[in-house]
Structure 1
Amino acid sequence: MTVCGLRALRGAMEGIAASLLSTCDADGRPNVSMISQVHWVDDDHVALSWQFFNKTRANLLATGKACVEIFDPRTHARYRLHLDHVETRTEGPLYEMMKARLAGIASHHGLEGVFRLLGADIFRVVGVEQLTAPVVARQDDRPPLLSAVRSCIDDLARCRDFDDLADALLDGVVRHLRIPHAILLMAEGDGRLFAIGSRGYPSSGVGAEILPGEGVIGVAAREAVPIRIGHLSADYRYGAALGAAARQAGLVAGEPHGVPFPGLGDPHSQIAVPILSAGRVLGVLFCEAREIMRFDHEHEDALMLLAGYLGALATLLGEDEPRPADTSGLPADPPSGLVTVRHFARDDSVFLDGDYLIKGVAGAILWRLLRQNAESGRTDFSTRELRLDRTLRLPAHAENLDARLVLLRRRLDERGACLRIEKTGRGRFRLIAACGIRLKEMGEAATPAG
């Protein structure tokens, strides 16, 4: 028996070709069936998709033994894995990863509604046989991913604040990893995510919202694991249909309002990786492509490395600069015009003259700044005081505060509003109003104008 490392066989576990699963019953009678998915877990384990209760399932429960044949589509090599059953999982991160992959496979074969994951069967791999040698040399037209990640990290290391980090990460994904469509999202305490930047789309989508568990992005954030699919399923599409379903299920209330999600209209590959800090999800990096099977395990590894580095830097750069802010740049021109700013307490959504601007923590921050400016004329603020303000209802760990300020600043800039947020130092910023502001507290959930 020729044994090789499981990690080297991950390319044969992408679900491009179905695998053959062999089992025996307690009397030794064999059974062979097709299986949709063999999922790499670690260097000693794989997971197989449990979709039906059939003879194969009965054999596994009786003996706990199986063999599965896998095929590497790039090299045309075939391998047989000898397996011992360990456990079956019906929830959790691994289950959700396999569920998403299976949904994509089902969509590709026109079997949505037929392929449904009942569980993830975990097996210990006790042996590996190479059945046929590689006959096609593995060729890639992509850059070496390790070198590309190093170039991205070099760019990130030169950043001085989260604003620069967000741009450097997205630019690096496009330039170094050659992935043209990418979105960076920040997480709220209630599980929602908001886009703070993107590349490759006609509109930036800054402020676009993803609901908890929605699509690959919402599942990646909820489970704190990467979610990757190579054939897009209707279960993982974004848009009005999902929003309507969420309102019908009671996840959100009222009519939809907000910024449209900027994703591709016809993607076939998507990957979402969580941005973690001390085990907490700060956000999600999302990439997609029109090509089938565009992202593999190595792309997943590369993006997870970048997301982890971003999470560490975001926490370090979140500390305030000790020196006082420079106030020499205060605007001298008097404001012109009048804008009514409406605030809805239920979701902290903010509207400028009836047009939606932002909601969530970023909306609460803007409302706080405007109220303090109206009461005292104050224009200069710090992230430290925001962290200490309990009325903002920040999560216990507020590493994402800088990201929320970036979101707020970019939304104001994109709207061309007479309000601006200007950085004056690390952890310090200024509210600038080029118009008169009238504040109106609404108290109830927002309803879009028109």
Structure 2
Amino acid sequence: MIPLESLRDSFEGVIPSVIATTDADGIPNISYLSHVHYVDGTHVALSNQFFSKTAANVARNGFATVMVVDGYSGQQHVLDLVFARSETEGEIFERVAIHLAILEARMSGIMKLRAVDIYRVDDCRAVPAANPLVEPEPLVLPDLMGKVARLTARMSDCGDPETLLDATLEGLGELFGYRHSMVLVPDGERGGLTTIASRGYDQFGFGAEVPLGRGIIGVAAERRRNVRITDLSRGQRYIQAVRAMAGVEDATPIPLPALDKPLSQIALPLASRGRLVGVLFSESTERFTFRHRDEEALTVITAHLATALSFLSEERERAETDRREKTEASTDKAGSVSEGRRIAVRFYPRDGSLFVDDDYLIRGVPGRLLLHFLEDYVRTGKQDFLNREIRRDRRLQLPDFKDNLETRLILLRRRLEEKAGPIMLERADRGRLRLTLAGYPEIEVMED
């Protein structure tokens, strides 16, 4: 029997599979199914959604025959199956449900999963293809673990979260060829995710948001599981789903960076000690960019990234706590209030939205932070702020603030840089931020 492990690309659902069963009289029934899911070396799973006749035949005799097609090479294989069990929860059910949740983005619920049927594979044999799509792959593919080792070594040399994020995305492009990637972090206020770093797009999209459960990114975050799609070219329903995933149809103030016509996508949750730290997302205009071996390599990288992000944030907090207090003159000295043009700042407390000169900037925790800095500046002329002081300031009244501070400050700083407006936030030194303005802020708080 041909090992199922060697057929992994045939279980991507790029080309529909065919399932054949027989009834009590030996009359065959043939149906198409979108996906055969690999379980292990001797088992596969089929989603139980539509096939009433197929289900009745299997319930009667327990047998089925499935043909799967490798969407990359065109090679075909026939599997002789024996029904083992049906599952409505657990690891396999969750994996299949996630795949269908992505395809369901524009399908109005008709793809809802009822159960997964697990089959034992008694035989697997090749069917010669008349016209293979490509030449067969070499038996030995290039090793990705060497690249993983080089990238994680670079990541280990990073001394702060911002440098770590940049090094990770740059390394994914340089070493692996994943040139369109981003990292999103949880937004404690609205329960979604916010883009904090990106590479390979026309716009950075810092501050762009994705709701939990929405598309490939939101599903990966909500379910805490990798989500990988190898080929998004199968029909208009896939294209519509991709556009929804990428945020093309979103009415959010900051659009999510997105390729116009992606064909491969992968999203991996960043989790550390049971807590979601963020999501790494990458996409490509080529089919089969992210295969099983790529997912395995990225799983190692995301585990390292999640742990390093948590460690660096905690290390910075400890260093700030242990460091001697600076003199009042160096930390709280009121600077000279900038003269020059008026900077119109409009703030909406309901969601923390902040506008500068009638141009939307950011919302949520970063918006509240910037308002805090600007109000202190207007009141006292203060321009330097310590992370330690920000954490202790009860006026902010921000939920789960301690865990989110470092990434929120990175997001705010990058968003201000992207806008290149009259307000900037710079890192003066470790644990210290400096507010610089090209004018005088006039703040208007818009009460609902």
How far residue 178 of structure 1 moved from its aligned partner, in angstroms, is 0.3
Q: Distance in 2 between matches of 1:95 and 1:357?
A: 39
Deviations 1:234-278 (A, max 9, x none): 1231477743xxxxxxxxxxxx55222221122222222222122
1:358 is aligned to 2:362: yes
Matched-pair contact (CA < 8 Å) for 1:22–1:66: yes
Q: Distance in 1 between matches of 2:82 and 2:403?
A: 43
1:68 is aligned to 2:66: yes
Query: SS of 2:177's equivalent?
Result: coil
1:345–1:53: structure 2 CA closer, same or farther, 3 Å change rule?
same
How far residue 166 of structure 1 moved from its aligned partner, in angstroms, is 1.2
Identify the residue that residue 163 of structure 1 maps to in structure 2: 162
Q: Distance in 2 between matches of 1:69 and 1:287?
A: 31
Identify the residue that residue 209 of structure 1 maps to in structure 2: 209
Deviations 1:158-208 (A, max 9, x none): 111111011111101111110221122222123322212222222211122
Query: SS of 2:406's equivalent?
Result: helix
Matched-pair contact (CA < 8 Å) for 1:75–1:137: no
Q: Distance in 2 between matches of 1:415 and 1:291?
A: 32
Identify the residue that residue 226 of structure 1 maps to in structure 2: 226
Aligned length: 423
Q: 2:8 aligns with which of 1, 10, 14?
A: 10
Matched-pair contact (CA < 8 Å) for 1:274–1:281: yes
Q: Which runs of 5+ in 1 are unaligned?
A: 244-255, 445-450
1:438 is aligned to 2:442: yes
- Amino acid across the alignment from 2:209: E
Which is further off, 9-18 or 55-64?
55-64
How far residue 51 of structure 1 moved from its aligned partner, in angstroms, is 3.5
Structure 1 segments of 4+ aligned residues over 6 angstroms from their partners: 26-29, 112-115, 330-333
TM-score of the aligned structures, taking structure 2 as reference length: 0.81
Matched-pair contact (CA < 8 Å) for 2:102–2:216: no
Paired residues for 1:170-319 under 5 Å = 170-189=169-188, 190-229=190-229, 230-231=231-232, 232-238=238-244, 242-243=249-250, 256=251, 258-319=253-314
Q: Distance in 2 between matches of 1:204 and 1:197?
A: 7
Paired residues for 1:98-137 under 5 Å = 98-100=99-101, 102=103, 116-123=111-118, 125=120, 127-131=122-126, 137=136
1:29–1:430: structure 2 CA closer, same or farther, 3 Å change rule?
same
Query: SS of 1:160's equivalent?
Result: coil
Q: Distance in 2 between matches of 1:426 and 1:332?
A: 20
Q: Distance in 2 between matches of 1:386 and 1:140?
A: 57
Q: Distance in 2 between matches of 1:141 and 1:174?
A: 23
Matched-pair contact (CA < 8 Å) for 1:271–1:295: yes
How far residue 316 of structure 1 moved from its aligned partner, in angstroms, is 0.2
Identify the residue that residue 408 of structure 2 maps to in structure 1: 404
Identify the residue that residue 349 of structure 2 maps to in structure 1: 345
Q: Which runs of 5+ in 2 are unaligned?
A: 233-237
Matched-pair contact (CA < 8 Å) for 1:342–1:352: yes
TM-score of the aligned structures, taking structure 1 as reference length: 0.80
Deviations 1:121-158 (A, max 9, x none): 14154545344699964249996322222222122111
Deviations 1:63-98 (A, max 9, x none): 555443434444836252634343344897424432
How far residue 389 of structure 1 moved from its aligned partner, in angstroms, is 5.6
Q: 1:336 aligns with which of 304, 323, 339?
A: 339
Matched-pair contact (CA < 8 Å) for 2:269–2:279: yes
Matched-pair contact (CA < 8 Å) for 1:15–1:37: yes
Identify the residue that residue 82 of structure 1 maps to in structure 2: 81
Query: SS of 1:287's equivalent?
Result: strand
